[in-house]
Amino acid sequence: MKKTMVLALLSIAFYNCSNEHLKNDFIGIWDDRPTGFQNQLQLYQDSVVSWSYCRKSIGTWEVNSTKLFLHFPNDPNYPNHDGTSTLKYRFNKTKDSLFVIVEDDSLEHVMMKVTDNWSHYLKEYNLKIVIPNANILTSLHQIDSYKYPTLYIGWKNNCLTVKGGEDSSKPLKTIDDYAESLLKGYMGRKVEENIHPITLVIDKEVSNAQIDSIKSIVNSLKFKDTYYFTVYNLKNMELKYGYINPDCNQNFDWYWYGLYDWNGLDQD
């Protein structure tokens, strides 16, 4: 009898340790941007926060070798639901991508682990951009991240690439066509209308000559009173670049910090 009890206790202890080991791979923030539909899971040791299409749910979770169980008791988002969602799952080799299928469904969704907001955000543009640090004595300005047209200037397969949207890019030699369509189309404005400033998010390895070349192309489009805002990092300051608020009812995500290039215009 004692032997049976000891074996049972050992079995329970082994199961608990195994379960905790599985949990370690899940703990963190998982987001389906840029390929998904505004879903995010924030998995903690003893709780889960789920965002789906701007709806927030808080509950608990468990996991076994093949399934993830999410429990949301008394959740007002699911008044006629038993409060439990079961997801079949698998990881990629590096365990930074989680593939899930809702039980009784066949469509697989991918969620990526968010270890750094900026790196995760850049997956939408498929670019390498390390924003340069500003001189500690430099006084930086701030602007809203969503308010003005933005050009992302970085590297893709070691080739300088400029993007302004997730599906639009051109090599540097044809950026004039791309920049024109991007800037003309921004908020439906025409060339003769004012769209300043144009925000430039530039990798630190892009040369001044390359930056000047890009600006000259944009200047040649003759938008009215165009000037630029170049983004910088500040050491020892959390700037939240790339942070996407999972509550998509909120329009604001983060501020850009940087310096103005008045492009020959009178600052007054």
Domain check: are 92 and 214 in the same one?
no
267 in a domain, yes or no? no
pLDDT score for 136 = 65
Range of the domain at 52: 2-115
Identify residue 86 by its one-letter amino acid code. T
**Angle between the 175-185 and 208-220 helix axes, to the nearest 10 degrees?**
60
Domain check: are 127 and 156 in the same one?
yes
Mean pLDDT by 10 residues, the chain (268 residues): 48 51 91 79 94 86 94 69 83 94 88 92 88 80 83 87 58 47 53 70 93 83 80 82 80 83 68
Domain check: are 124 and 204 in the same one?
yes
Write down how long the chain is.
268
pLDDT score for 66 = 94
Residues 6+ apart with CB under 8 A from 122: 128, 129, 154, 242
Domain check: are 98 and 139 in the same one?
no
Domain check: are 159 and 99 in the same one?
no
For the residues of 52-106, what is the DSSP string, one character each?
ETTEEEEEEEEE-SSEEEEE-TT-TT-TTS-SEEEEEEEE-TTS-EEEEEETT--
Domain check: are 7 and 77 in the same one?
yes
pLDDT score for 165 = 52
Q: Which of 115, 146, 162 is the last residue of a domain?
A: 115
Domain check: are 53 and 75 in the same one?
yes
Domain check: are 249 and 125 in the same one?
yes
Domain check: are 7 and 70 in the same one?
yes
pLDDT score for 114 = 93
Contact predicate 140/134, CB 8 Å: yes
91 in a domain, yes or no? yes
Domain check: are 129 and 204 in the same one?
yes
Number of domains in the chain: 2
